[in-house]
Amino acid sequence: MAVQMKGAEVSASMKEALQAEHAALRAKGIDPKLAIVRIGARGDDLAYERGALKRFGGLGFTVEVYEFPEDIEQRRLECEFKDINDNPSVHGILLFRPLPKHLDGEALRQAIDPRKDVDGMSPLSAAKVFAGEDDGFPPCTPGAVMEMLEHYKVELKGKNVTIVGRSMVVGRPLAMLMLAKHATVTICHTRTVDMPAVCRRADVLVAAAGKAGMIRADCVTDKSIVVDVGINVDAEGKLCGDVDFGAVEPVVSMISPVPGGVGAVTTSVLAKNVLKAARLQLQ
């Protein structure tokens, strides 16, 4: 039976260090603050917001939610966003995406202060991650994958890692973080020939394609370490990942479940990034 990599265990292990760093910044007169910017009330945004508020509340961090109507005009949104961006009491900004179709998200991506971009939204954040610079912010989900693997003592140096999915939110930045740990990284996508064979060669397999159950037993071996980043809803209305858990779990050596896996770590990584942002702004 596979070892299940539980997100709650990873977050619990991060809590003490986060609280200690928070206390150190407070002692210097800095109250690290996150601004959550939400347009409308999508269910997935609200679910993540509730999780973030709960996590930050448990850590004693300050969070302020800026909620705007779904039909907000572009010009007003840009003005409101600028006020948040320029507010010296705000150290990190999380903007829920995608935006409603009538809005231009690119304008906000370009406008956000890179020192406050705690979810890796801006082009400069991406450039810093791809360049391997320490003051960049990768999106929180790739950061959560790395925290999980570190907690469960998965050595990446010299290992073959396959990432299924090439988005700028997970796949590509995660590949850069893996390369920084000296892994040999392969990215699979819809044009990959014989994907199951490519996946079977991996020591660590990360499923991040956004397609329920696409990673089946023929994609893994008894040595595979599988990290499931997918968040989907099955025919019964239940959350599920990109991995067919029932078929894969009996085969592999380690696996993260959905729910209860990587998703449970992302808000802790968000808190870690807010502390990092506060340090950068203090400097």
The per-residue pLDDT of the chain, averaged, comes to 96
The answer to whether the beta carbons of residues 241 and 229 sit under 8 Å apart is: yes
Q: What is the pLDDT of residue 228?
A: 98
| E strands present in the chain | 3-4, 33-39, 62-68, 92-95, 160-164, 184-188, 204-207, 225-228, 232-233, 239-240, 254-255
Asked, colleague to colleague, whether 29-115 and 140-263 share their fold, the answer is: yes
The closest alpha carbon to 65, from 89, 34, 108, belongs to 34
Length of the chain: 283
Pairing of strands 254-255, 225-228: parallel
pLDDT digits (tens, 9 = 90+) for 197-238: 999 999 999 999 999 999 999 999 999 999 999 999 888 888
Query: In the structure encoding, which two tokens stand for residue 188, read together?
Result: 């699979």
Beta-bridge mates of residue 38: 67
Paired strand residues for 233: 239
Chain segment 49-59, per-residue pLDDT in tens: 999 999 999 99
Cα–Cα dist 137/128, whole Å: 8
Judge whether 11 and 72 are in contact, CB under 8 Å.
Answer: no
pLDDT digits (tens, 9 = 90+) for 258-276: 999 999 999 999 999 999 9
Three-state secondary structure call for residue 97: coil
**Cβ(167)–Cβ(142) below 8 Å:** no
Cα 175 to chain centroid distance, Å, stands at: 13
Contact predicate 204/191, CB 8 Å = no
CA–CA dist 145, 265 (Å, integer):
8
When pLDDT is averaged across residues 10-22 and rounded to a whole number, the result is 97
Domain ranges of the chain: 29-115, 140-263
Q: How confident is the model at residue 282 (pLDDT cuts 50, 70, 90)?
A: confident
Cis peptide before 259 (omega within 30 of 0): yes
- Determine the Cα–Cα distance for residues 207 and 163; give it in Å rounded to an integer: 6
Q: Which one, of 194, 263, 271, lies nearest residue 6 by Cα?
A: 263
**For strand 204-207 and strand 225-228, is the pairing parallel, antiparallel, or unpaired?**
parallel
Query: What's the average model confidence in pLDDT over 161-190?
Result: 97
CATH of the domain spanning 29-115 = 3.40.50.10860
CATH of domain 140-263: 3.40.50.720
What is residue 269's predicted lDDT score, i.e. its pLDDT? 98
Query: So what's the pLDDT on residue 233?
Result: 87
Distance CA 244, CA 132 (A): 33
Q: How would residue 1 be classed by pLDDT, with cut points 50, 70 and 90?
A: confident
- pLDDT bin (cut points 50, 70, 90) of residue 10 is very high
How far apart, in whole angstroms, are the C-alpha atoms of residue 144 and residue 208? 13
